Amino acid sequence: MLVTLTIIRYPKKYIPFALLAMAIHRLPIWFNKNISFYKLLGCGKNGTFDKHPDWQQWGILAVRNTSTDIETFDSASLINNLYGSFINKWLHFFNCETWTILLEPIEGHGKWDGKEPFGILTKLPVYDGMVATLTRATIRISKLKSFWQNVAAAANEMAVAKGFITSVGIGEMPFIKQATFSVWQSREDMKAFAYQMHQHTAIIQKTRKENWYSEDMFVRFKPLKTFGTIKGNDPLAGKL
């Protein structure tokens, strides 16, 4: 299984077409026989759960269950190979900047819209390299106020945490369906943030006690390869 996350940045003048793409791009991806699960995503401004959208930045997350040799991918043909010629031509036409990370799921739990898109995951005990995490949730309407009052402090802690490399806030629906994708130097660094940093630990306790989520998911991945840049930078350059 190969999981791909592509972050797309449109020039400001093309923001209306970025919004249009959220509807149009569903069709070619739906017809792509190599893709078993996908989500078209908006992005938050501050790299984590964020109710303020970045109208220039969007994302595609996809799961490919077909056998894939990632060494055959190259920057010039990557988007075409992953998502098809229509999306490739669209992004080129609107002069979009893209950053894509290829991932292998290694452990996790939870569901996304009632599905387990990454399969039944068991812990990979021998892996101790760089780790990426996806934390996503559907927030109960009655708990929205509590959720948004608490997440900012944890986001600030993450940005300065030991081993933190980069993160992006993604989501299917503003305010309600939110996710954070982050990359860490090691599993130990990520776990230290998750379970030892005060603000984040407090939020974990509140989510359970107050039942904030109607559905949630947490998955760890092994980063395999990256292509392209976002805002002129590949945050994993020289690290893989």
pLDDT at 102: 96
- Asked whether residue 200 carries a pLDDT value surpassing 90, the answer given is no
> Is the separation of the CB atoms in 170 and 182 below 8 Å?
no
Dump strand ranges (E) for the chain. 2-9, 35-44, 53-64, 97-110, 131-139, 164-173, 177-184, 213-228
What residue segments make up the domains of the chain, in order of their start?
Answer: 2-228
Number of residues assigned to the chain: 240
Each residue of 55-108: pLDDT tens digit?
999 999 999 987 777 888 888 899 999 999 999 999 999 999 999 999 999 999
Q: What is the pTM of this model?
A: 0.91
Report percent pLDDT > 70 for the chain. Answer: 92
- Asked whether residue 119 carries a pLDDT value surpassing 90, the answer given is no
pLDDT at 121: 77
Q: Give 85's contacts (C-beta < 8 A, 6+ positions apart).
A: none
pLDDT at 49: 67
Q: What is the mean pLDDT of residues 199-228?
A: 83
The CATH number of 2-228 is 3.30.70.100
Q: What is the mean pLDDT of residues 203-231?
A: 87
* Separation between Cα atoms, residue 139 and residue 173, nearest integer Å: 10
Q: What is the mean pLDDT of residues 150-176?
A: 83
Q: What is the mean pLDDT of residues 103-128?
A: 85
